Amino acid sequence: MIQQNLVKVGMADLNIATDGAVLKTTGLGSCVGLTLYDPIKKIAGMAHVMLPSSDIARETTFNFAKYADTAIPELLDRMIAAGAHVVRLKAKMAGGAQMFAMSGQTDSLRIGPRNVESCTAVLNRFKIPIVAQDTGGSFGRTIEFDSAKGMLAIRSVQFGTKEI
């Protein structure tokens, strides 16, 4: 999906897109690329979530986009300010891989699965349905979300490109 109007979303970052712009993030391993979409207003949002909970935050300058529990509410606020309505929002997500296999894994090493669980819990709190997802596995992904069509394209070296 090559578009002239590309909005890049970095790691631990979020942004919104309108007017047919495409949101793109790369480097999704254990991170989750979460997208929200208002199909009537054609407003899209994307967050590149690194960690499940801000409870573990230690940085001096807090980055709300880094954590599922703070990134999703911030993304919602930005989308609502742009004219989206929460009752129409649909979510799609990709990533949340378990990048390294380790024996006797503790919960703290399950970052990918915990990111997916945390994103799902926050979306449930706002009653936003997850209409499609490509999560888990042990491989990285790059995603692009088309704000005109509401389509999420997922690319990986192992599986090529698919759209959900």
Catalytic residues: 31
Pairing of strands 130-135, 151-156: unpaired
* Cβ-contact 84, 97 below 8 angstroms: no
- Max distance between CA atoms of the chain, in angstroms, equals 48
Residue 18: name the closest of 2, 49, 39, 47 by CA: 39
* Cβ-contact 93, 135 below 8 angstroms: yes
* Cβ-contact 92, 131 below 8 angstroms: yes
Residue 46: name the closest of 16, 71, 89, 3 by CA: 16
* Cβ-contact 34, 62 below 8 angstroms: no
Helices within 88-129 (DSSP H only): 111-125
